[in-house]
A and B are shown apart, each in its own frame.
Chain A
Amino acid sequence: MRIGVVTFPGSNCDYDCYKAVQTAMQAEAVFLWHKEHDLQGVDAVFLPGGFSYGDYLRAGAIAAHSPILREVKAFAAEGGVVAGICNGFQILCESGLLPGALVRNRGLRFLSRPVRLRVERSVPPFTSAYAEGELLRVPIAHGEGCYAADDATLDALEREGRVLFRYVDERGEPTPAANPNGSARNVAGIVNAAGNVLGMMPHPERAVDALLGSADGRGLFRSLAEHLSAAVAR
């Protein structure tokens, strides 16, 4: 199993993703350079967090037009598994692979803190290792993580079961107080219609070792590993 982690200029969670793939998936990790067109035969692609191209225009806007993204789009169109975390989520929205947009946090400040997430659905390839309704503790670290979309899009996401993670309180309720950034309907992570492209603002790759406060992110990597090894076996 070979997992690609894209490095854009300004990516800064690429190394964390790379290590999480190694330790939590027990898989081979390779860096994919933004200027290239070669996905090196990987089985899945991570778009990591950071400030791609400085995010000077709009978070993720320039990365969405980078050479490697052309290949990532083609890969996703053929059913390839793609996960965008934080800036990666922003890039996926900017490139049209996911609906909606990430705008400045309500409160206008960058926020770095652990949050509680509820797993909304237990489905491959991203969340099958979790139980539905399971509560996770995962860090966020972003200034533009407020998920915004029109009501029709949000209704469709809910109806089609495409909201995978929601910000909740300690009782598992999606309250306004538990919503760190003002995201519509407390949405923290969504998938595309086909279910093979995930975007999420929280950082599961920073929650794979209890020493650092939480290992709750491992389930995402385990889910992926199960899905991909089953696919390889077929």
Chain B
Amino acid sequence: MKCRDCVEFLMEYLDGTLAESERRVFEAHLGECPPCGHYLDSYRETVRLGRTLCEADERVPPEMPEELVSAILAARSAR
């Protein structure tokens, strides 16, 4: 397996949807190619960072501006 194929299969590997035989070849390549290992780690980190955006907002939801509440209720009465 070449790095090109390794990167191509990365998402399926992380999703756990690679066939057993493909997974073995993939992991063998990772074992002998540190750059692909770093690529995998940083790809996984990129996905994780996306998810943390939601989590941060969930921890501290924004203030709901009073004028927005009024505008929404007015829009309801107007229809």
Mutual binders A and B: no
Interface residues of chain B, those whose CB is within 8 Å of chain A, are none
